[in-house]
Amino acid sequence: MLTVIKNVEVYNPEYLGKKDIYIERGSIGDICDDFEITSNSIEVNYIDGEGCYAFPGFIDGHVHIIGGGGEGGFTTRTPEIQLSEFIKAGITTVVGCIGTDGICRSMKDLVAKSKALTEEGITSYCYTGSYEIPVKTITGTPKGDIMLIDNIIGVGEVALSDHRSSQPIYEDFVNVVASSRVGGLLSGKAGVVNVHLGDGKSMMTYLFRVIDETEIPPTQLLPTHINRSSSLFEKGIEYVKKGGYLDFTTSSDPEYLEDTELTAAEALSKVIKSNIDKTHITFTSDGNGSMPLFNSKREMVGLGICSVSSLYDQCKSAINDYGVSIEDALSVITKNPANILKLPTKGTIEKDKDADIVLVDKKTLDIKYMIAKGNVLMEKGKIVKKGTFEAI
């Protein structure tokens, strides 16, 4: 069966105007002005795109898909994420990672969950390792995991400048980056190292040293949580000027930000004003980890789970609250991560790419349809496909 989206305004993420999008066998067959089927024998699912924008499916490059948290003891470990969370959030591609707990959370479990999400309908990859160096891998080295395990595309999240980090010496850190780079080269993958930056004093010192002291290109590293403080953000701006990439985390609670924390939307608006290379910026949700909940007196009253929906919510906030253009706001969750993570069939709405498309209401920007690999998973705002163990 063919699917044709009629009369929809397409952002690729550049604006293409009002078009018809024709989808066949999971890929985009064409984007044209007036698509017509001449044969009566072909079954066509027409979607009326009038009043909607079509965006490329969103890419979330940092989600604790097998659960995260655990830093308040065993009862604070968050459960596995379910497919519908991604559908609601318009996320068609996700990269899973472990976190602080590299003992009870295992790489084999992460690889299996990532494969399950791909079988259930979206596209999923993962990073090998956890906060820790030496990196706990499946094959023995980061290079081996990236080369031999199809859904592993890099290393992460390795923690630096954080009291929970394994406090690696610089040489051990750079060895991990080198192993990841070579694994990427030999397998045609990104081999990127996703670096968690905490609120410590050393900040991005090791990352600047990789640029200044080695032959490894800055594009091998993707540091995250850069919006956690204004001082880290300022370092990040310097870092992009040297050719580095930056990732902003969307899942902080805008009502209870840390002292100098910036929302991802605010950080993006500042990047755009500062005239640095905005193609080097991405957003990720850090979703499915634990999140402290506060009452109005800022007292912690319990623990919740960070939502992957914050990814697109912060894009909307960038557009609505900070005047960022739709193109710029969308790029950080579509085209930019597709380039940085070397996912050539993702991130744009183009002929022969995967048919990963999100349709949103033009006025509210709310998600109406979510299409992953050509399959409609949300229709008129209603989820029509659930994960294997979710109640319909």
For residues 124-183, which are near Zn ion according to CB under 5 A? 157
Total residues at interface with Zn ion (CB under 5 A): 2
Q: How far is the CB of 326 from Zn ion (least distance, A)?
A: 28
Contacts of 39 (CB under 8 A, 6+ apart): none
Nearer to Zn ion, 196 or 235 (CB): 196
Nearer to Zn ion, 231 or 364 (CB): 231
Radius of gyration for the alpha carbons in the chain, expressed in angstroms and rounded: 20
Contact call for residues 271 and 281 (beta carbons, < 8 A): yes
First to last CA, the chain: 24
* Of 60, 286, 313, 328, catalytic: 286
Q: How far is the CB of 225 from Zn ion (least distance, A)?
A: 6
The tokens describing 209, both together, are 């040293």
The values of phi and psi at residue 239, to 5°, are -65, -40
**Is residue 286 annotated as a catalytic residue, yes or no?**
yes
CA–CA distance, 188 with 377 (Å, rounded to integer): 30
- The verdict on 228 binding Zn ion (CB under 5 A) reads no
Build a one-symbol-per-residue string for 180-219: x at contacts with Zn ion by CB under 5 A, - elsewhere. ----------------x-----------------------
CA–CA distance, 19 with 185 (Å, rounded to integer): 38
Contact call for residues 6 and 48 (beta carbons, < 8 A): yes
* Residue nearest Zn ion, CB atom distance: 196
Q: How far is the CB of 32 from Zn ion (least distance, A)?
A: 43
Q: How far is the CB of 162 from Zn ion (least distance, A)?
A: 8
The tokens describing 154, both together, are 């890099």
* CB neighbours of residue 40 within 10 Å: 6
Q: Which residues are catalytic?
A: 286
- Applying CB under 5 A, the residues found at the interface with Zn ion are 157, 196
